[in-house]
Copies of this chain bind each other. A is one copy, B any other.
């Protein structure tokens, strides 16, 4: 085999605060032949997610830190171009822990076949039927266990996950209330996506009272992508037996010092509520059972979603930073190859 030449973005320094150009290096490299259980994936789209910022630091996380010198870790979709695995053949369409790179060496254990028959374009497998979209699906349905008539509150509601959570909540007969950071995002939630109410947390003043107004019967399910102050305000509005799907903590990701956790944890006791942590990776092997339903909702027009596709590996870092300054809407990804 001739070896695949890749261009890749390597992490060369641990960022302090937001990552900057000097933390990341664009370089070329010839990939070694895949070892046992490995395969080489030609990435077509790579995913940009807030969690990647977490993996760039030395903090303990649910995945080990990205080793300095390695390509930045991210999910990608593409085709297998070389395989030393009995589970994947050259030509298979897969999503994998590829990284910010044109070609990536992946292990079969963290590579999954794109669910065939979904009838959606490949890049949708990084968004609405990819790990992001299915985070909304499994988090709401498995952790939240929504019942018709219940109130579902979602933080980062205009984001790639939150916007789907609210729409699935509506399909399940719930009242959907979103928290977002601009009037434009709030209008999009209520006027386009069918949320019952949206709260601009930047202008709402007393957030506890604003949530109480929008959720007069209390919050039965809080789908939390944020943590911090927003979690605290939601805690003071829980209905009895509330469920909190604890899905992200974007508020603490770029902080240089630890961010204190919620101050109102006692509400969990008072309301006999439940907080459950959630990693969609627990459900990867179940995707063939659930992606067709989600894809069906998309094709019926019951689920809308936004993708923001940036062209060219060299534009990855500036695009990544828009996840943290509030300018991104929709699932962000980079098209590496057509």
By a beta-carbon cutoff of 8 Å, the part of chain A in contact with chain B is: 60-62, 227, 246-249, 252, 258-279, 282
Contacts and interface: CB of A to CB of B under 8 A. Distances in A.
A266 B62 CA distance: 9
A249 B274 CA distance: 16
A265 B262 contact: yes
B249 A269 contact: yes
Contact of A269 (B263, B271, B279): B279
B265 A273 contact: no
Contacts of A279: 269-270, 272
Nearest to A59: B266
Nearest to A54: B266
Contacts of A62: 269-271
Contacts of A258: 263
Contact of A282 (B261, B272, B274): B272
Contacts of A265: 227, 246, 249, 261-262
Contact of A263 (B246, B260, B273): B260
Contacts of A278: 269, 272
Contact of A270 (B227, B252, B277): B277
Contacts of A61: 266, 270
Contacts of A262: 261-262, 265
B275 A249 contact: no
Most chain B beta-carbon contacts within 10 A, residue among A264, A265, A273: A265
A294 to B, nearest CB: 21
A270 B252 CA distance: 14
A162 to B, nearest CB: 16
A275 B275 contact: yes
A144 B61 CA distance: 24
B272 A274 contact: no
B263 A247 contact: no
A268 B262 CA distance: 13
Nearest to A282: B272
B277 A276 contact: no
B277 A272 contact: yes
A266 B282 contact: no
22 contacts: A62-B269, A62-B270, A62-B271, A227-B266, A246-B265, A248-B269, A249-B265, A260-B260, A260-B261, A261-B261, A261-B262, A262-B265, A268-B275, A269-B277, A269-B278, A270-B277, A270-B279, A272-B282, A273-B277, A274-B274, A274-B276, A274-B277
A217 B62 CA distance: 17
A277 B240 CA distance: 10
Most chain B beta-carbon contacts within 10 A, residue among A249, A259, A277, A282: A277
